[in-house]
Amino acid sequence: MRNVKVVVEYDGTDYFGFQYQPKVPTVQGELERVLSRIVKERVTVYGSGRTDAGVHATGQVINFRTCGSIPVEKICLAMNSLLPASIAALQAEEVDDDFHSRYSAKSRLYRYDILNRDLRSALIGRYSWHVSRELNVDAMREAATCLEGVRDFESFCTSREDEMTVRNITRIGVDRQGEHVIIEIGANAFLRSMVRVIVGTLAEVGTGKRHWSEVGKILEARDRKVAGKTAPPQGLCLMHVEY
């Protein structure tokens, strides 16, 4: 049986997240439908991360196992001929049998886009969070430094899937690019909605609702109620997975 790894991108606006759910459109559901048709057998797709409803990806990694004989160099072409326009396969390769897109991953990089201007946009509203109040990027950077390294992020997750809430943020950057404030966060793994809660908290620092020094106290509290609001999903994108 072959183990195939595929890098995919998608506009998550019209999906109820990556993970399969019955009776609603999901990215995993579309990928399994198409791949099962291509290899002529039932396929289970494993993703590197279960992005929430409305979250996008340019570097989501999946793998699936098949006895099908389609050449690996033709898999992306075949997938893209059947997938909806909002999902595209970018690269495919055969990998060792022990490769798993989620459990083999060493780190993941997410990017969040805040449109920081008075008026909303009709064109990029699907891919950014509109914040009309001017954001103090310097204060947001100071707050972000409190989150780097190995920390307990229980205050920054919306639900706990296990008892372990310690994660290692290897990089976090806050930069202004014209009317956009871009937040990039890389870590060994993420908790449920962790990036969006961090972004929501940093935005409150940027608007002056919180002082940047409060972030350390939020970490210590290990209580979701003391952190900022969860930023909306459309500004978030899974950029890259490291193996």
CA distance 118 to 138: 20
CA 155 to the chain's CA centroid: 19
Structure tokens at 12: 């998550």
- Checking DSSP bridges between strand 46-47 and strand 2-10, what pairing results, if any? unpaired
**52 tagged catalytic:** yes
Type of residue numbered 229: K
Rg of the chain (C-alpha set): 19
Q: What is the dihedral of CA 23, 24, 30, 32, to 10 degrees?
A: -40
Residue 124's nearest CA partner among 61, 182, 79, 66 is 182
CA-angle at 61, arms to 127 and 29, nearest 5°: 75
Q: Which amino acid is at 16?
A: F
Q: Give the active site residue among 14, 52, 175, 223.
A: 52
For 75, residues 6+ apart whose C-beta sits below 8 A from its C-beta are: 4, 6, 38, 89, 92
- 220 φ/ψ angles, rounded to the nearest 5 degrees: -65, -30
Q: Which residues of 76-95 are buried (b: 16+ CB within 10 A; e: fewer)?
A: bebbeeebeebbbbeebeeb
Looking at the annotation, which residues are catalytic? Answer: 52
